[in-house]
Amino acid sequence: MNKPFDYRHAWQVNPQAKSTDADKKAPFIDNGTKRPDPKRYYDRDFMDQEWEKLWTKVWTIAGPVSDLPEAGDYFLYELGREQIIVVRGADDVIRAFYNVCPHRGNRLVFEEFGSADNFTCAFHSWKFGLAGDNIAITDKETFREEVLCHGTDLSGVRCEVACGLVFVSMDPDVMPLDEFLGPVKDMLDAYDIGKMHVVHHARNDWAANWKTGVDAFYELYHLHAVHPETQGCMEDYYAQYDTYPNGMSRMIVPFAVPSSRNDDRTQVDPGIQMMLGDAGIDPATFDGSGLEARAAIQKHKRASAAERGLDYDKFSDAQLTDSFPYGIFPNVQMGCHPEGVFLMRFLPHPTEPERFYYDTCTLYMPTKDDHGVPQWMGLPEGTDVSGDIRPDTIHVALGEKPNLGLVLDQDSELLPHVQKGIRSQGFKGPLWGEQETRLRHFHTELDRYLEK
């Protein structure tokens, strides 16, 4: 780690990348050096401002489009104080509605996933079509027309599909989704997420603010200390951080290579052996060093693309090995690989500023070969990856063991301590370095919403 560091250019995974390459370094965005007030992580008034000026104004990811394969299929999306029904209509259009009957406010849907020809209120049997239109009012003749003319259809929510994901916004005047996503949209489109299916879904209740969660996952600076197991198979120092308009960001994390922090980088760590095996290379016969494994995996994947039934031609060499986690403002990180995507959402608690829901969803791209699911996905043994059945969401209450795998379990243990420390009078606000540039970029965009 003797290279001089220039924060305006920082590190690049591929310094020779052309302007059209997927791993091209993004232009520098200077978000300054301000030290933010730590109250943003625990103050109830700040939480209320976020609800009024952020969550009700911005696009958020409700779920993958693969969760709505047939007409009538729906899922329930919970965001803070609201519940939103997302449903595929008989006309194949995906729409979203507040989960509330316009008659007396009863919830219409109580199951997280389901399929229906229509929605019927359990209070007075009012019925609504999949397009949100009212199709039946019990004893309609007893209502004055002057009452019903106020509106009897479901209240809609802006809903659009992009990159294989369903986005919703409670603001009817929200900016166009393509504009919001900017250059990140084309980057995500390359992964064909719409062809993937959910193979694992867990939602954990954590004792921290949702932004404490975002901050922890938007940088690699902590890996050597919190996740030392990663040092033998991941580069955490010479990683690439990119920021884009509207709070979007990315980092490129080289896999199958020892960290530059290691004194000896020739060893083929068990983690690298695992990645070799995932690619179809027998670790026992691999005669290269730890520094040669990454290139060997890239080469072997290209050679076996037809066998696996995956289109590797559209991906750069780095995309064949490395993790490309994208930050979708305000509350998502997506670790993208050609074989699958790890989608994590940091969902605010409806009433408590120092709690959030860590929602993780693993999506898998079916292949023709028999190598199986890459072990980096961390799926429990026996997981059904056929896509025939959408797995139930595993709900883990506050204080229960998360069982997310070694690395994520370490994060779950750490964050409550970070949250408590943020509360201390001795903490004056975060001091972000350039390895934490995505954090500053995220908070700058958050402040832009709050200052409107």
- Per-residue confidence (pLDDT) for residue 55, from 0 to 100: 98
Distances from the Cα of 238 to the Cαs of 30, 315, 320, in angstroms? Answer: 20, 21, 18
191: confidence class by pLDDT, cuts 50, 70, 90: very high
User: Tell me: the pLDDT tens digits for 281-312?
Assistant: 999 999 999 999 999 999 999 998 888 888 89
Contacts of 287 (CB under 8 A, 6+ apart): none
Instruction: Please give the DSSP secondary-structure letter assigned to residue 368.
Output: S
- Per-residue confidence (pLDDT) for residue 374, from 0 to 100: 82
**How many Cβ atoms sit within 10 Å of the Cβ of residue 213?**
26
Section 171-179 average pLDDT:
98
pLDDT at 349 over 60: yes
Query: Do 316 and 339 share a domain, yes or no?
Result: yes
What tokens does 126 get?
Answer: 């009012």
Asked, for residue 17, whether it belongs to a domain, the answer is no
User: Tell me: the pLDDT tens digits for 29-81?
Assistant: 999 999 999 999 999 999 999 999 999 999 999 999 999 999 999 999 999 99
pTM value is 0.96
- Per-residue confidence (pLDDT) for residue 188, from 0 to 100: 98
Q: What is the CATH number of the domain that holds 44?
A: 3.90.380.10
114 is in which domain, residue-wise?
60-173
Query: Do 80 and 164 share a domain, yes or no?
Result: yes
Asked, for residue 24, whether it belongs to a domain, the answer is no
- Per-residue confidence (pLDDT) for residue 194, from 0 to 100: 96
- Per-residue confidence (pLDDT) for residue 373, from 0 to 100: 76
Q: What is the CATH number of the domain that holds 160?
A: 2.102.10.10
Identify the three-state secondary structure at position 83. Answer: strand
pLDDT at 400 over 60: yes
Per DSSP, the residues of 369-438 read SSS-S-GGG-PPTT---SSSSPPPPEEE-TTS---S-HHHHHHHHHHHHHHHHHTSTT-------GGGHH
Identify the three-state secondary structure at position 128. Answer: strand
CA 256 to chain centre: 23
- Per-residue confidence (pLDDT) for residue 2, from 0 to 100: 67
Section 142-146 average pLDDT:
98
What tokens does 348 get?
Answer: 């605010």
Number of domains in the chain: 2
Domain boundary among 173, 208, 234: 173
User: Tell me: the pLDDT tens digits for 217-274?
Assistant: 999 999 999 999 999 999 999 999 999 999 999 999 999 999 999 999 999 999 999 9
Asked, for residue 316, whether it belongs to a domain, the answer is yes
pLDDT at 370 over 60: no
Query: Do 146 and 200 share a domain, yes or no?
Result: no
Asked, for residue 188, whether it belongs to a domain, the answer is yes
Identify the three-state secondary structure at position 279. Answer: helix
- Per-residue confidence (pLDDT) for residue 372, from 0 to 100: 65
- Per-residue confidence (pLDDT) for residue 371, from 0 to 100: 56
Asked, for residue 14, whether it belongs to a domain, the answer is no
Contact at 8 Å (CB) between 91 and 131?
Answer: yes
- Per-residue confidence (pLDDT) for residue 109, from 0 to 100: 97
Residue pointed to by tokens 């290279």: 3
Query: Do 405 and 438 share a domain, yes or no?
Result: yes
